[in-house]
């Protein structure tokens, strides 16, 4: 899906933890004859996988266009013309980079003056391919956190084969070596975060009983250098039925504070301030609000209306208060943003003196600069130089040192550009992705379909200029519709090369369940209302057919993860609308999902299948239970990864087995590595993409 850059907060530790999970499956009574396929790395299950893979490779890789498409996609992924996105730490700008010569990747850095050049000189810090060769591993990069202000020591997270579970190792930047007897967290689904040079917060697998039922760390400890991790002091313990817990220090100069975050579920968490005496003080704010403490400000992004201090603040609003005054009992908030029917908050970022708000207006970004004054007021003005169309994201470069920011600008046909700006003046383009395909004969339009309940659902369509509306255009419709994730226009060289330049039409549906119109859009398709997302997607498909852009025989659909669940339900609920389906790393068995890997953490989104009242609505959109041998379904390609420890590969395996047994037209390919992204390196990514597009072309053209 197109990337959506949200604002970065001090609580970013949870971003990776949210989706991590333990391998394997919990057992429960079942009459499912395919449950043996949930044995992720069992010999019998993997033999079955290899047999399906062989059938799919025979069917798809023999296509005359497959090899060239795979090679072209690999060349795009390996291209040195890609923009090396950077993060500033201290005086340096850091980047992680993969290409043909470095498939595992390089962690490297440079200075800003050098970065501005067309071909910067980089200082390589970690060569992951060399490390893999030395250690006989297949490490996949998960990130680096360097301790300010010296930025000499870093905590490096590495994953085996792309799984969400990872290890954390301490690295010394000046010597470019791993720290002997330094901080080391064994493989688990947790985190390690700096408190100071000799102290870290650790949340990880400490042994039996230390993980939640969702598979995440629930215990937060403070760990001193030179002592065994087992001797670390417990700071907080969440409940086993919670989702996760973690601790961190905000290292902003002059505003150093320690926090513990308890996540009960998605969009349901508590934030505690750790006092100097070690006591935890819970912030008295709604669990559903996104919480951020920045310098003197407490920032709350509300998901539900909140009445406090004699005032009611709207769901979707961003409000701010003085943090210390709030802790002392004050409840005086300032409204920084309030949603409208057409506008929702997409994110925000702080520079040294300004707050940059990113708002989506009918799925188009608008950037506003807010400047706080000494009297408590906030000045508002548009960000100079921000474009009027496309996906625009801004991020502060160093919120303690300057008002500089990076801006990325893109849309479906405009190669991504990276701009460097300072609040108050127009930004300068310093990096530009080249055009990987000819877009001169293509155009972008936005339409609105009417869903079953009358809701207007936006969608973008990328098509040839002057396209004939004769119903014969091969069309690929993409969707997600969950977890308040917005799909905004983004440049995909792969889609351009593999689909648009081949004569295909590309459509992205902004259905409910996503975040395109804020919390209300997401909450409209939760739990018992999940079918709203499917009705929206069907409405977009029907609108495309009514406009004579395409017909079911030429209309394909694609989605992954929650979007894979969308694909499964569209297949079994609306088979008459589609000619082909690509279902990637999907959820499909909603009876078992909460017992598989990270599934328990998604019950706020879907419901609890073990509760009869929840199962009553869940079973209506559980594709695995609803597929029937007596219905004609469109051809389906299922893809997943053995190393996906987020969404269990058993979902795709079992659905494939059942549909194949029933005699349906189905193919299956499981990458033995790759994690939830489906691939661990560019070679695997190119292969998996080529499989999907070859399948779609064979079925829809």
DSSP 232-257: PEEEEE--TTS-EEEEEEE--TT--E
Nearest CA to 450 out of 462, 458, 442 is that of 458
Residue 561 catalytic? yes
At residue 586, φ and ψ (nearest 5 deg) are -95, 160
Confidence of residue 235 (pLDDT cuts 50, 70, 90): very high
Token pair for residue 513?
A: 């369940």
* Residues 269-297, mean pLDDT to the nearest whole number: 96
Q: Which residue's structure tokens are 């959506």? A: 4
Nearest CA to 700 out of 501, 503, 528 is that of 503
The per-residue pLDDT for 616 is 97
Confidence of residue 677 (pLDDT cuts 50, 70, 90): low
Token pair for residue 332?
A: 């005086």
**Percent of the chain scored above 90 by pLDDT?**
90
The per-residue pLDDT for 2 is 29
* Residues 213-237, mean pLDDT to the nearest whole number: 96
What's the whole-number average pLDDT of the chain? 93
Q: Which of 288, 561, 601, 685 is catalytic?
A: 561
Q: Is the pLDDT of residue 536 over 50?
A: yes
The per-residue pLDDT for 674 is 58
The per-residue pLDDT for 422 is 98
Q: How many other C-beta atoms are found inside a 10 Å radius of the C-beta of residue 412?
A: 23
Report the distance separating Cα 538 and Cα 577, nearest Å.
8
CA angle 679, 684, 690 (to 5 degrees): 110
The per-residue pLDDT for 389 is 81
Q: Is the pLDDT of residue 24 over 60?
A: no
Confidence of residue 676 (pLDDT cuts 50, 70, 90): low
Report the distance separating Cα 358 and Cα 364, nearest Å.
10
Q: Is the pLDDT of residue 598 over 90?
A: no
Residues contacting 679, CB < 8 A, separation 6+:
162, 641, 671, 673, 685, 687, 688
DSSP state of 173: T
Q: Is the pLDDT of residue 542 over 90?
A: yes
Q: Is the pLDDT of residue 541 over 70?
A: yes
Q: Which of 102, 554, 651, 676 is catalytic?
A: 676
In 3-state terms, what secondary structure has residue 598? helix
Confidence of residue 321 (pLDDT cuts 50, 70, 90): very high
The per-residue pLDDT for 605 is 96
Q: How many other C-beta atoms are found inside a 10 Å radius of the C-beta of residue 461?
A: 23
* Residues 636-645, mean pLDDT to the nearest whole number: 91
Confidence of residue 519 (pLDDT cuts 50, 70, 90): very high
Report the distance separating Cα 273 and Cα 259, nearest Å.
5
Nearest CA to 541 out of 417, 664, 416, 450 is that of 450
DSSP state of 600: G
Q: Is the pLDDT of residue 361 over 50?
A: yes
Nearest CA to 23 out of 653, 638, 649 is that of 649
Nearest CA to 387 out of 416, 361, 363, 367 is that of 367
DSSP calls for 192-234:
EEEEETTEEEEES--STT-B-TTSSB-EEEEEETTS-GGGPEE
CB-facing half-sphere around the CA of 660: CA atoms within 13 A: 17
**455 contacts 536 by C-beta, under 8 angstroms:** yes
**673 contacts 660 by C-beta, under 8 angstroms:** no
Lowest mean pLDDT among 420-434, 533-547, 637-651: 637-651
* Residues 503-513, mean pLDDT to the nearest whole number: 98
Report the distance separating Cα 402 and Cα 351, nearest Å.
6
* Residues 546-574, mean pLDDT to the nearest whole number: 98
Report the distance separating Cα 110 and Cα 562, nearest Å.
38
* Residues 423-445, mean pLDDT to the nearest whole number: 97
Can you say whether the dihedral through the CA atoms of 612, 618, 623, 629 is positive or negative? positive
Convert the pLDDT of each residue in 31-80 to its tens digit.
Answer: 899 999 999 999 999 999 999 999 999 999 999 999 999 999 999 999 98
Nearest CA to 538 out of 628, 451, 633, 632 is that of 451
Token pair for residue 509?
A: 């549906």
The per-residue pLDDT for 388 is 83
Q: Is the pLDDT of residue 6 over 90?
A: no
Confidence of residue 30 (pLDDT cuts 50, 70, 90): low
* Residues 497-505, mean pLDDT to the nearest whole number: 97
Token pair for residue 633?
A: 């379904």
Cα–Cα distance list, 243 to 5, 237, 573, 601 (Å): 24, 12, 31, 6
* Residues 324-342, mean pLDDT to the nearest whole number: 97
For the chain, state the CA radius of gyration. Answer: 25
* Residues 422-451, mean pLDDT to the nearest whole number: 97
Token pair for residue 338?
A: 């309030």
**21 contacts 215 by C-beta, under 8 angstroms:** yes
**149 contacts 90 by C-beta, under 8 angstroms:** yes
Q: Is the pLDDT of residue 328 over 50?
A: yes
Domains of the chain, earliest start first: 28-75+446-700 (3.40.50.1820)
Residue 676 catalytic? yes
The per-residue pLDDT for 678 is 57
The per-residue pLDDT for 161 is 86
The CA-based dihedral angle spanning residues 64, 65, 67, 69, taken in that order and rounded to the nearest 10 degrees: 180
* Ramachandran category for residue 680: left, alpha or beta (phi over 0 → left; psi -120 to 50 → alpha): alpha
Q: How many other C-beta atoms are found inside a 10 Å radius of the C-beta of residue 132?
A: 17
**331 contacts 309 by C-beta, under 8 angstroms:** yes
- The sheet carrying 199-203 orders its strands as 191-196, 199-203, 219-224, 233-237
Report the distance separating Cα 677 and Cα 679, nearest Å.
6
Report the distance separating Cα 403 and Cα 417, nearest Å.
20
Convert the pLDDT of each residue in 73-131 to its tens digit.
Answer: 999 999 989 999 999 999 999 999 999 899 999 999 999 999 999 999 999 999 999 99
């Amino acid at each position: 899906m197109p990337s959506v850059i949200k604002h970065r907060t001090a609580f970013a530790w949870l971003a990776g933890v949210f989706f991590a999970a333990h391998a394997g499956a919990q057992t429960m009574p079942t009459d499912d004859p395919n449950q043996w396929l949930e044995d992720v790395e069992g010999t019998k299950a993997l033999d079955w996988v290899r047999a399906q893979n062989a059938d799919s490779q025979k069917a798809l890789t023999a296509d005359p266009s497959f090899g060239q498409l795979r090679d072209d996609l690999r060349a795009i992924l390996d291209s040195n013309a890609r923009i090396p996105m950077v993060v500033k730490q201290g005086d340096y700008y850091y980047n992680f980079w993969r290409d043909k010569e470095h498939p595992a990747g390089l962690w490297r850095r440079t200075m800003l003056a050098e970065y501005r050049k067309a071909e910067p000189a980089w200082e390589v810090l970690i060569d992951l391919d060399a490390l893999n060769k030395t250690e006989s591993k297949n490490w996949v990069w998960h990130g680096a956190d360097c301790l300010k202000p010296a930025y000499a020591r870093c905590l490096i997270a590495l994953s085996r084969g792309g799984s969400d579970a990872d290890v954390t190792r301490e690295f010394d930047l000046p010597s470019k070596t791993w720290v002997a007897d330094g901080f080391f967290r064994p493989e688990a689904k947790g985190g390690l975060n700096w408190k100071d040079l000799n102290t870290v917060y650790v949340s990880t697998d400490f042994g039996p009983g230390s993980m939640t039922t969702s598979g995440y760390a629930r215990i937060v400890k403070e760990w001193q250098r030179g002592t065994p991790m087992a001797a670390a002091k417990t700071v907080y313990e969440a409940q086993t039925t919670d989702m996760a817990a973690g601790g961190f220090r905000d290292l902003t100069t002059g505003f150093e504070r320690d926090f513990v975050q308890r996540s009960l579920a998605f969009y349901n968490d508590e934030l505690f301030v750790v006092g100097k005496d070690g006591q935890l003080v819970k912030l008295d704010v709604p669990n559903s609000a996104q919480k951020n403490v920045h310098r003197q400000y407490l920032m709350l992004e509300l998901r539900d209306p909140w009445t406090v201090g004699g005032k009611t603040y709207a769901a979707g609003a961003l409000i701010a208060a003085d943090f210390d005054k709030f802790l002392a009992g004050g409840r005086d908030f300032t409204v920084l943003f309030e949603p409208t029917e057409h506008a929702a908050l997409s994110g925000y970022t702080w520079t040294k003196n300004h707050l940059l708000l990113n708002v989506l207006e009918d799925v188009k970004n608008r950037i506003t600069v807010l400047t706080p004054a000494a009297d408590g007021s906030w000045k508002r003005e548009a960000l100079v130089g921000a474009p009027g169309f496309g996906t625009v994201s801004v991020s502060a470069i160093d919120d303690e040192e300057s008002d500089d920011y990076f801006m990325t600008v893109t849309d479906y046909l405009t190669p991504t550009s990276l701009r460097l700006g300072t609040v108050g003046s127009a930004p300068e383009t310093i990096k530009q992705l080249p055009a990987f395909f000819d877009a001169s004969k293509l155009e972008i339009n936005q339409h609105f379909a009417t869903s079953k309940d009358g809701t207007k659902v936006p969608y973008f369509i990328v098509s040839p200029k002057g396209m004939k509306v004769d119903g014969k255009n091969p069309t690929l419709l993409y969707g997600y519709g969950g977890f308040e994730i917005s799909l905004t226009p983004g440049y995909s060289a792969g889609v351009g090369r593999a689909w648009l330049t081949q004569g295909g039409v590309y459509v992205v549906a902004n259905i409910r369940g996503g975040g395109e119109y804020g919390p209300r859009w997401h909450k409209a398709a939760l739990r018992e209302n999940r079918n709203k997302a499917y009705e929206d997607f069907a409405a977009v498909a029907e609108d495309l057919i009514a406009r004579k852009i395409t017909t079911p025989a030429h209309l394909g659909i694609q989605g992954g993860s929650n979007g894979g669940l969308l694909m499964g339900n569209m297949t079994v609920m609306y088979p008459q609308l589609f000619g082909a389906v690509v279902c990637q790393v999907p959820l499909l068995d909603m009876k078992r999902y909460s017992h598989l890997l990270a599934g328990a953490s998604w019950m706020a989104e879907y419901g609890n299948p073990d509760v009869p009242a929840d199962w009553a609505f869940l079973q209506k959109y559980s594709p695995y239970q609803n597929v029937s041998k007596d219905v004609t379904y469109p051809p389906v390609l299922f893809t997943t990864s053995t190393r996906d420890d987020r969404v269990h590969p058993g979902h795709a395996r079992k659905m494939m087995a059942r549909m194949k047994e029933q005699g349906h037209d189905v193919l299956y390919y499981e990458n033995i590595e790759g994690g939830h992204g489906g691939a661990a390196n560019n070679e695997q990514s190119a292969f998996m993409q080529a499989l999907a597009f070859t399948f779609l072309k064979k079925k829809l053209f």
